[in-house]
Amino acid sequence: MTMKVKTAAVHAGDRVEPSRAVPLQASIHTASVAYFDDAGALDASLDGADYVYTRIRGQNAQLLEEAVAALEGTEDCAAFPSGQAALKALLEAQKLQEGERVVIANDGYGASFALVKSFCAERKAAFHPLSMTDPGTPAMIQRLAPRLVLAESVTNPLLSVPDLDVIAAACREAGALFTVDATFPSPALHRAAEHGADVVLQSTTKWLNGHSDAMGGTLSGSRERIAPLKAARILHGAILGPFEAWLTLRGVRTLPVRMAAHSQHAARIADRLKAAPRVERVIYPGLPEHPQHAVARRMLPSGFGGMLAFEVKGAGRAECFRFLEKVKLCKPAPSLGDVCTLVMHAASASARRMTPEERAAAGIRENLIRVSVGLEDPDDVAEDLLQAIAAAA
Ligand SMILES: *Cc1c(COP(=O)(O)O)cnc(C)c1O
């Protein structure tokens, strides 16, 4: 059939022929809709039997979900357009009732903290921020009998490392859904499901993507727990787009080797910062003086990760802001998990959405700088940090 130009513009070259050749890596499936030559197949595809409409089922998101489930060691995984969207989907699925309780790590990521707090306020549920490293917390969880407990494997930004096995046991006793945000170590260094997490949250925006070029979030767990989240996602529409899923899966291919290098570099930089006179305290789970170092050895057996933090003696916000302007190699960017080293003033960035009282309760002080260690030579990074600390003083 010869097509007139307007018809050709729309239809020429639109039929992807099925092929038996298996591509070594997936392509980006941008088509948001497909059709079938038989109506029965179309009918079945609308229930998810095939890829007919990306909100129902998308190739790239599904491939990423398979990969993340395999990394986490869980049966299933659901991908979302951001870590926050994943957390919101999980909260929605709980159908919280008035008077029910939610427990959250008091020193975790500020935006998760603020989201859970406002969600509880809307539902008239009780919001209980607790320190997950306080020895009294497991008993408190049993007493409160919350619907949901949200912990972080390594907290943002203070890098405390709770004993997840102990908290998981308390959650089981209390009948609480135990959700663990394992973004900081990533599944390459730590599988939260093996320590009793019912659901594992990742902001794939960070280490899984690894190159700061796509946002995303995942929830991993048993098929029974993840299937309803996927069903709700078809209606709620919070899907991960094909470009983002593809970029993230590309990042996943090198995740374990990157995390090994990030861990090695961070350990070296932590040692060098410790020797600096202006540095009051270096926080890194791999340091023997870290308050949960023994727990960290169990939770993070193959590397302590790429995140570290340090406090500058006597510094206030102004001096920390000067520090951010003085780094040359490192970038003052409010994220983590990149190949490039990123530095951030915790109180004004990751903990921005907490009140000053909440920050004080968590121990997040104005002189705290968080570092996401990149893949540059660690001595170059250490020298850049040290010169910026000196220049800002
Ligand atoms: C960034 C982050 C999130 C939120 O993820 P987004 O992809 O930015 O929505 C959640 N938890 C932790 C620990 C994070 O660092």
How does pLDDT run across 181-239, given as a tens digit for each residue? 999 999 999 999 999 999 999 999 999 999 999 999 999 999 999 999 999 999 999 99
Q: Does residue 341's CB lie within 6 angstroms of at least one atom of ligand 1?
A: no
162-197 residue pLDDT tens: 999 999 999 999 999 999 999 999 999 999 999 999
Q: Is 183 in the pocket of ligand 1 (CB under 6 A)?
A: yes
**Which tokens sit at 58?**
């998308």
What's this model's pTM, rounded to 2 decimal places?
0.95
The pLDDT of residue 351 = 83
Residue owning tokens 């090994």: 260
Distance 105 CA to ligand 1 centre (A): 14
Look at ligand 1, atom 5, and give the residue with the nearest C-alpha.
83
Cβ neighbourhood burial of 361 (10 Å; 0-12, 13-18, 19+): middle
Please report the atom of ligand 1 found closest to the CA of residue 335. 1
pLDDT digits (tens, 9 = 90+) for 8-23: 888 877 787 888 988 8
Catalytic (active site) residue 55: yes
Cβ–ligand 1 distance for 153 under 6 Å, the answer: no
CA–CA dist 127, 150 (Å, integer): 11
Report helix, strand or coil for 262.
helix
Ligand 1 lined by 218 (C-beta under 6 Å): no
DSSP for 128-191, written as a single string: EEE-TTSTTHHHHHHHH--SEEEEESS-TTT-----HHHHHHHHHHHT-EEEEE-TTTHHHH--
The span from the CA of 280 to the CA of 282, in Å, is 7
Q: How confident is the model at residue 354 (pLDDT cuts 50, 70, 90)?
A: confident
Report the pLDDT averaged over residues 339-345.
96
pLDDT digits (tens, 9 = 90+) for 95-143: 999 999 999 999 889 999 999 999 999 999 999 999 999 999 999 999 9
Q: Is 155 exposed, middle or buried (0-12, 13-18, 19+ CB in 10 A)?
A: buried
Query: Within 13 Å of residue 34, how many CA atoms lie on the same side as its CB?
Result: 27
Active site residue 206: yes
Q: What is the reported pLDDT for 151?
A: 98
Q: pLDDT per residue over 51-105, tens digit each?
A: 999 999 999 999 999 999 999 999 999 999 999 999 999 999 999 999 999 999 9
